[in-house]
A and B are shown apart, each in its own frame.
Chain A
Amino acid sequence: MATTRGGSTVPVADGAGAGTLLLPREGGVRRRRGSMAAWTFLVPNLVLVVVFLLLPLVLAIVISFQKRQSLGTPEFLGINNYLDLFRDGVFWRTLWNTVLFTICTVPVGMALGLGIAALLNGVLPGRTLYRSIIFLPLVISGVATGVLGLWMFDQYNGFVNNLLAVFGIVGPDWQSSGGWAMFSVILVTLWQRVGFDMLIYLAGLQGVGSDVLEAASIDGASGWQKFRRVTFPLLGPSTFFLLIMNLIYSFQIFDTVFAMTAGGPDYSTTMLVTYAYRSGFDEHGSGQLGYAATIGVIIYLITLAITVIQWRVNKTRDQLG
């Protein structure tokens, strides 16, 4: 079944394939009693989701049409927040930062993850230990990763610049130069994220049968050709799952950046989500809640677009499979 291939597309495929998993219809009283029980099981979770997720989502749209500050009564603005947003240079800048960050982290992280997975796949002494250590950054908080990254890349006393000094290189200004700050955030994110890519690809590689590879060998394929023409195409579902997960993760990155650069210097590492936070709640800001909600709606729309693409593709694959 396509939904379980590689063990990775699971929650995703679930939604698309839900129709096929329905239990047979039961009639009359039985069904109604089942229904009652079902709702009792569901109510606690539904109450939480409705009050703290769905209702805020609707309210976010309402508030995005208001001028609202931390204090004082809200005032209806119509689409003015949206017009302001599209004229706001900082909005476009942070959107561009987010795109740049995503482009730099997602493909590189996946390529590294695939490389490491290929390296660790098969017999290798100490393989479990390597895997655990590479996976470890994933369970550590974004805050810890961020402050650790900041210290390692500290432009005056950090390890990275001290190491470069050993080779006679004067290290870059990781904190005061916007470009280098972004680069350091990207490197730290890759460190944090590569274990996940490795893990999913390792699981995917389990599903690539040795018989196919043997067949390719007999046909005279070289190691690289086997990888390029056989293994990689068979990893398709894993690659797609990772692509979506990483896109969402990179697009929504907040903790690491906040702890590491707080979006600075200036706005050079401020992502869209960081900008939303800064507009609404930054201690130095004016508390533009309406404006922050507007950015929130844009963030939601982009997330939704990624999710829809994911559903579409999974649905097609289910039908084909």
Chain B
Amino acid sequence: MSVTALTAQDAAAGSSGRAKALRRSKRGRLFTLRVVLAIVITLIMFFPIYWMLVTAFSTREDLYAPGLHLVPQHFTLDNFATPFARFPVWQWFKNSAIITLLTTVITVVVNLLAGYAFAKVPFRGRNALFLILLSTMMIPVQAIMVPQFTLSIGLGLFGNIWSVILPESAAVFGIFLARQFFLAIPDELIEAARVDGAGQFKTFFAIVLPLCKPLVAVLVLLSFMNEWNALSWPLIALFSNEALFTLPLGIVTDLKSQYTSDYGAIMAITLLAITPMVVLFLSFQRYFVQGLARTGIK
């Protein structure tokens, strides 16, 4: 369907001038149709986000009046002020930030180390271990939430943020990304460092890791996204402890259940909650695309 293919088709056909003109106008119309379709689809896809924005800055009266009111008629910040006054929204932000950052750091570090071992350090049972880890990648929280719950009580983690951070750091998706990236690094480079007397760890930290900035970026962004957006496990681990609520948890349990009809407030806080992800995505799109295309979504 690409343009080059169509041009080649014309050349090969060697058609008469009139037929050529006809085809060109047909191609022109097809092209216009493609552009229009693409714009329409994009607008439809973007509309819900836009609607979140409109809702967040509209007055309650406008929102609940019939009709479409596609732009805020009476601009207001009340939707932000009210929930901030009633709920510890800043605390949610803070909890989300702390939990997300710690989880990201731990996940990325342990995944990088393990990925390197699987790619470059031979050891007995490497393939078997790799398969075992691979088989845990798709397990959903709900399959193991009960034992995780009893376990975090047993380990004395329950009731503090580590009951979220440690289980969520037990991620394996990064190992596969890391392993793949490390495999592409030439063995000669590592051998050379070893010959120069560097140990495995020095080689890893001083020689290999500095070459892996894109990998680290992908891992950091994906881990950050997973944890910033996480609901399933925090819902169980933190439910009884309102002071530790994260943003998704606060939105679902506090905002939504007590404000069921005040969508202005819900959309305002949700807008704040998605902003960091949207900004990160727009700034580092390439890495998100690469990472997500390789691991699927977790």
Contact = CB atoms under 8 A, between A and B. Distances in A.
B121 interface: yes
B170 A52 contact: yes
A258 B134 CA distance: 28
B5 A22 contact: no
Nearest to A221: B9
Interface centre among B34, B63, B280 (most CB of A within 10 A): B34
A232 B99 CA distance: 44
Contact of A140 (B63, B175, B274): B274
A34 B292 contact: no
A268 interface: no
B147 A59 contact: yes
A259 B296 contact: no
B195 interface: no
Interface size class of B (residues with CB under 8 A): 35 or more
A218 interface: yes
A114 interface: no
Nearest to A296: B143
A138 B293 CA distance: 12
B143 A60 contact: yes
Interface in A81-130: 116, 118-127, 129-130
B55 interface: yes
A169 interface: no
A170 interface: no
Interface in B131-147: 131-147
Contact of B281 (A57, A127, A139, A276): A139
Interface in B258-298: 263, 266-267, 270, 273-274, 277-278, 280-282, 285, 288-289, 292-297
A300 B5 contact: no
Question: What is the predominant secondary structure among interface residues of chain A facing chain B?
Answer: helix
A163 B68 contact: yes
A124 B32 CA distance: 10
A44 B297 contact: no
A196 B292 contact: yes
B176 A14 contact: yes
Interface in A42-93: 42, 44-46, 48-49, 51-57, 59-60, 62-63, 68
15 contacts: A10-B176, A11-B294, A26-B122, A40-B200, A45-B110, A45-B172, A121-B1, A125-B35, A137-B45, A141-B248, A143-B251, A214-B5, A259-B251, A289-B150, A299-B142
Given A53-B172, A254-B141, 9 more contacts: A18-B127, A38-B117, A136-B278, A144-B251, A214-B9, A276-B145, A295-B142, A299-B143, A300-B139
